[in-house]
Amino acid sequence: MAELQTRAAKSMRWYQRRERAAGWLFAAPALIGFLALTLLPMIFSLYWSLTDFNVFKSETNFIGLDNFRQMFSASDLYFKDSIKATAYYAVLNVPASILFSFAVALMLSSNIKGRGVFRSIFYLPSIIPAVASCMVWVWLLNQQYGLINTVLKSVGITPPAWIWSKDTVIPTLVMINMWNTGGTMVIFLAGIMSVPKVYYEALEIDGGNAFHKLIYVTIPMVTPTLFFNTIMAIINSLQVFTQGYIMTGGGPSNASLFYCLYIYREAFQNANMGYACALAWLLFLIILALTMVVLKSQRHWVYYSDGGR
Amino acid sequence: MKKLVSLLLVASLLLVGAFAATAEEAKKWEGHSIVFAGWGDGAEKAATEAAIAAFEEATGCEVTYINNNSDFDTKITAMVAAGEQLDCAMLESGTIAYPMAEQGLLVPLDSYVEASGIDMSDYVAASCYYDNDGNMISYAGNIELMCLFYNRDVFDAAGIEYPPTSPEDAWTWDEFVDVCKQLTKDANGLTPNDEGFDAENIVQYGVNPGVWWPVWGSFILSNGGSIVDADGNFAMNQPEAVEALQKFCDLKLVDHVAPSVAASESLPAGDVALLTGTYAMVIDGQWNALTYAEAGVNFGMAPIPKMGDEVVSICTTAMFCIFEASEEKDAAWDLIQYLNDPAIDLTLFENGNRMPTSLDWLTSEDKLAQWVGEDNPARPEGYEGIIDMLINYSAAPLTGQIIGWPDMITLVDAAIEEVLYGNMSVQEAMDGVAADIEEAGIVLGLRTAGAEAAETAETAETAEAAA
C-alpha cells in the first residue's frame, strides 16, 4: 500500500515536472521574443539615451542627462514643435476616434438590413496598408483634381487647404484617421453585443425609450471597453508617424512634425542615436504617466459587473 | 623516346597553363571585391551597371552594386552603424556627407588624384567637394547646373522671340518677368497685364521655377548677395539677398506668372506641364533635358536670367566618396574613375541626364559630337550657351561651400515656405532664421575660408623661411 502511494506520488511528480517543462516551452516564444526584441533593446536604448552616441562618431561618451536638458533648452528648435503637433493631434484624435467608432458600432449593433455588409465596409479600411491609404487620401484631397474638393466646389463651398496649410493640417489628419478606426469599432461592437438582453427588457417594462437604453444600460455596460479603447487611442495618438512621414513630411512649417517623426529624423537622418533614444524614453514616460492617470481614474467611471475582480 | 616526347608534351602543357595563369593574374584587382552604393533611376542604374561591368572585365575586381533610391541616407547610415563593408558610395552633399567627413569617415582623395595624373585645371572646378581643411573628399566627372527650359511652340504661338542663348546676352530680371507676363494666361485668355485678370484661374503659367537652393541661390549670388558671409554670419537677411529672394517669391505672390504653393500641388509633373503648355518656361537642373526629350517636348534651353550684372548658375553634383574603413581604397578609386569617365560609358551624357566636367569633353569638336550631336533631341539648338554658362558663369554647389549647411537649410526652407504661403515677407522670414540660428547655436562658416587660411599660413611659412 505504502509502495503504491510512493509510486503514485512519483508518477505525480514526474507528471508535474513534465507539465512545468511543457509550460515553459509553450511560453518560450513569447518570453524569448519579449527578452530579445523588447527588453534588451529597451535597456540598450536607456543606456544610449545617456550618451552622445552618433553613428558617424568613433567614440561615444557618457553624458548623463545632457540629452534631456538639451530638449528643453533653446538649442533644440524642433522639440517644442513636435510636442505641440503631437499634443494637438492627440487632443483632437482621442475623443474624435472614440466617439466616431462608438457611434458606428452602435449603429452596426442594431438590427438593420445588410448588417454584415456594413460591418465589413466599415472594418475594411483598417486592413489596407497605411502607406496605400495615405496616398489615396493625398489624391482625394488634391487641391485641383481631388474628389473631395470637386464635390465641395460643385455645391459652392470653398474647400480648405487641407494638409497644405499649417492651420488645417492636424484636423485634416485626424479626420483621415477616422477612416482607420475599424479595429476600435469592432471592440466596441463586441462590448455592445455582450450586454445582456435582460437589462433592456427590464428597461422596456419600466417604460424606457431608446435614449434611456443608451444612457442607462449600454454606456455603463461598455465602460470597460471604453476604458480599454481610450488607453489604446492615447497610445496610438502619441505614437502617430505614418501620416506625417508619408503625407506631409512634417510640414507645412513643422505643423505636423509628430514626435515619432522627429525621433526618426534624429536617429536615421541626423545619425544622433543617443539623442533619439533620449527622445524615445521621454515619450515612453509621457505615455506611462498618462496611462497611469487613466488607470487610476477607472474606479470613478468604469463599471465591472463582477465588481472589478 | 616515347616517354621523352610525352614528358615534353606534358611540360609544354604545364608551361602554357602557367602562362595562362599569369595572364589571368595580370588583371589588376583579381580576387579583390568592393561594395559601391548609389542612387539613380532605371537609365542611370543601367549605365552604372555597364561601367561597373567594364571595370570588372578590365580589372578582375568583383563589385557589389547597391542601388537604393528611397531613403538612401538611412541605408548608408545603417550600413555604417552596422559596420558593413562599404568601400565607396555616391553621397548627398547637403545631408550626411559632411557630418561623416567631419568625423574622418571619408578618405582625402588629393593623393589619388595626383597619382592618377589628373590635372584638376582640366576640369570644371565646381565638380569636386572639399572638407573643412581643404582636402578633396569627392571626385566626380559629371555635373549639373540650373538652366532655363522653354516650350518653343508656346513662344511661336505668342510670337515672342526665344530667350537669348549666350549667357552674355541673358535676360535681365525685368525682361524675364515681362516675357513671363506675356505668356501667362487665365481661363479667359487674359494676361497679368490686362484689366480683370483672374489670378485664381490661371491655365498657362509663364514660368515654373524650382523652389530650392540652387535656383534661388543663383539669383542671390547674381544680385551680389551671399548665403553666409566670409565671417560665418548668416547673410540671407542682408539687402542684396533679400531683394533677390523677394523678387523670386514675387513671381508667385505678386506677378502671378508662376503657380502658387496651393496651385502647384495639383499641377502635373514638369515634363507634362511643359509639353502641354501649362508652363511656358521652367527653371531647374540641366538633367531635366532627359525628361523633356523623352516626353517629346519641343523645347529649348537657355541661360537663366540675371538678377544683377552677370548670370550666375549654381552647380549640383552627387559626391563620389571612399570610406576610411575600406580595405580596398585603391580599387575603389579606380572604380570611381570608371564611373566618371565619359569614355567608358556615354549613355547618361548623351541622353541629357548629365554634363561632363572634363574641359576636353566640353570643348573639343570630336568629343562634343559624341554627346551633344546635331540630331540629339536632348541637346537642343543653342546648347553651346549652356556649356558656356557652365565653364564661365557657374558657381560651386552651396552644400560644399557652407559649414553647418544641413541645419541651416532646414530652417531656410521652412521660412521660404512661410513666405510663399503669404504669411510673411522675405525680410521677416530671414530675420527669423537668423534669430533661430543664433538661438540654437548653429555654427556657420565658409569652407573656402579654411583653404585660404591654409594658403596664407603657407605664404607666411615661406616668408619666414626666406627671412
pLDDT score for B14: 54
Number of DSSP helices (H) and strands (E) in chain B, helices first: 21, 16
B308 residue type, one letter: G
Cβ under 8 Å to A: B residues 70-109 = 71, 73-74, 77-78, 80-81, 95-96, 99-100, 102-105
pTM: 0.82
- Residue B154: strand, helix, or coil: helix
Shortest distance between the Cα of A266 and any Cα of chain B, in A, equals 11
Q: Which of A293, A306, A307, A309 is nearest to A227 (CA)?
A: A293
Q: Which CATH class is domain B29-141+317-363?
A: alpha beta
Cβ under 8 Å to B: A residues 201-230 = none
Give the residue-averaged pLDDT of A60-66: 89
pLDDT tens digits, one per residue of B336-362: 998 888 888 888 898 888 999 999 999
How many alpha carbons fall within 13 Å on the CB side of residue B408? 24
Domain boundaries, chain B: 29-141+317-363, 145-316+395-400
Please check whether residue B160 touches A, CB under 8 A.
no
Q: Hey, which bits of B375-467 come out as E strands?
A: 394-395, 402-403, 445-446
Domains B29-141+317-363 and B145-316+395-400 alike in fold? yes
The C-alpha cell at A244 is: 506625417
Q: Which residues contact B180 (CB under 8 A, 6 or more apart)?
A: B206, B207, B251, B255, B257, B258, B280, B281
Residue B142 has pLDDT above 60, yes or no: yes
The C-alpha cell at A120 is: 465589413
Give the residue-averaged pLDDT of B305-333: 94
pLDDT score for A268: 84
Q: What is the mean pLDDT of chain B?
A: 87
Separation between Cα atoms, residue B371 and residue B358, nearest integer Å? 13
Please check whether residue A261 touches B, CB under 8 A.
no
Separation between Cα atoms, residue B175 and residue B192, nearest integer Å? 15
Lowest mean pLDDT among A231-235, A287-291, B38-42: B38-42
Residue B397 has pLDDT above 70, yes or no: yes
Q: Which residues of A touch B417 (CB under 8 A)?
A: 251-253
pLDDT score for A43: 94
Domain boundaries, chain A: 77-301
Measuring CA to CA, how many Å separate B127 from each of B138, B213, B356? 8, 17, 9
pLDDT score for B8: 59
pLDDT tens digits, one per residue of A85-121: 999 999 999 999 999 999 999 989 888 888 889 888 8
Q: Which residues of B touch A254 (CB under 8 A)?
A: 414
pLDDT score for B453: 46
Closest alpha carbon within chain B to A149: B266
pLDDT score for B192: 93
Identify the H or E element spanning B282.
Answer: strand B279-285
Helices (H), B125-269: 152-158, 173-182, 213-222, 239-253, 261-265
pLDDT score for A162: 87
**Cα A234–Cα A236–Cα A237 angle in degrees, nearest 5:** 65
Q: Of the candidates A75, A161, A270, which has its C-beta nearest B262's C-beta?
A: A161
pLDDT tens digits, one per residue of B89-124: 999 999 889 989 988 899 999 999 999 888 888 999
pLDDT tens digits, one per residue of B448-458: 744 554 444 44
Give the residue-averaged pLDDT of B396-405: 93
CATH architecture for the domain at A77-301:
Orthogonal Bundle (1.10)
> Does domain B145-316+395-400 fall into CATH 3.40.190.10?
yes
Inter-chain residue contact B417 with A251, CB threshold 8 Å: yes
pLDDT score for B5: 60
The ipTM, to two decimals, is 0.73
User: Do B146 and B289 meet the contact criterion of CB atoms below 8 Å apart?
Assistant: no
Please check whether residue B262 touches A, CB under 8 A.
yes
Shortest distance between the Cα of A21 and any Cα of chain B, in A, equals 37
Separation between Cα atoms, residue A141 and residue A173, nearest integer Å? 11
Please check whether residue B233 touches A, CB under 8 A.
no
Confidence of residue B411 (pLDDT cuts 50, 70, 90): very high
For B354, other C-beta atoms within 10 Å of its C-beta total: 27
Please state, for a pLDDT cut of 70, what percent of chain A lies above it.
Answer: 97
Residue A7 has pLDDT above 80, yes or no: no
Helices (H), A110-146: 115-123, 130-140
Higher pLDDT, A7 or B171: B171
Confidence of residue B436 (pLDDT cuts 50, 70, 90): very high
Shortest distance between the Cα of A161 and any Cα of chain B, in A, equals 7
